[in-house]
Amino acid sequence: MQIGILAVQGAFLEHEQMLSRLGASCFEIRQKSDLTRPMDGLILPGGESTAQGKLLRDLGMLRPLQEQIEKGLPVFGTCAGLLLLAKEIQNDTRRHLATMDMVAVRNAYGRQLGSFSAEAAFDGLGTIPMTFIRAPYIESVGAGVRVLAVVEDRIVAARQGNQLVTAFHPELCSDPRVHRYFLDMIRARQGVGCHAASLVFESSEKACYPC
């Protein structure tokens, strides 16, 4: 399994480290030619969605990635990555990949609540720790979107087919369950059993090649 991690800006290293812990291989996507590599899944990290969206456009990667996601490539967007995937952003006129049927709100928690932690239920995973940094939340979702987590009446994780988003940063916590959930999504698409990820996590510290 090869996971591409968008590495033009933001917190991509932390995702690489988490995948490495789970024994999954990954590579960085920095330019259009990186998209020629076989990719089983894609991670869009946190950072600054405006900068990431502009770089995706300028580097000619926006449309190719949009096409792959529309064809079913599993994608996991955290924070800014969620905003890249949102079809609508309530307080921003810009749209980026716009493949996921939801309305997001940018920098939704205000200045004084720019960063905070919470613990809340995540569908199928139990209670997990959540770190929010100048986070968005999801105001509403379309019919095909499943809500996976809610904090203080606000949607903070959701899934539409092979698209997974979190407003928080699971890569900044030591808890690997959300990444494992994403790896299981990829395995399910490939028709492979879903329990290998947990076994790998227990037994392997394999390097994340070539990150």
Of the candidates 15, 21, 96, 106, which one interacts with ligand GLN according to CB under 6 A? 106
Torsion of CA 179, 183, 188, 193, to 10 degrees: -110
- 52/65 Cα distance (integer angstroms): 13
Q: Give the containing element (helix H, strand E) for 68.
A: helix 62-70
Does 30 engage in binding with ligand GLN (CB under 6 A)?
no
- Whether 11 and 169 have beta carbons less than 8 Å apart is answered as yes
**The pairing of beta strand 2-6 with beta strand 25-29:** parallel
Does 49 engage in binding with ligand GLN (CB under 6 A)?
yes
> Which residues in 133-172 contact ligand GLN (CB under 6 A)?
133-134
Asked about 169 being catalytic, the answer comes back as yes
Of the candidates 4, 23, 41, 46, which one interacts with ligand GLN according to CB under 6 A? 46
Does 97 engage in binding with ligand GLN (CB under 6 A)?
no
Asked about 139 being catalytic, the answer comes back as no
Query: Which residues here bind ligand GLN, judged by CB under 6 A?
Result: 46-49, 79-80, 83, 106-107, 133-134
Which residues carry out catalysis? 79, 169, 171
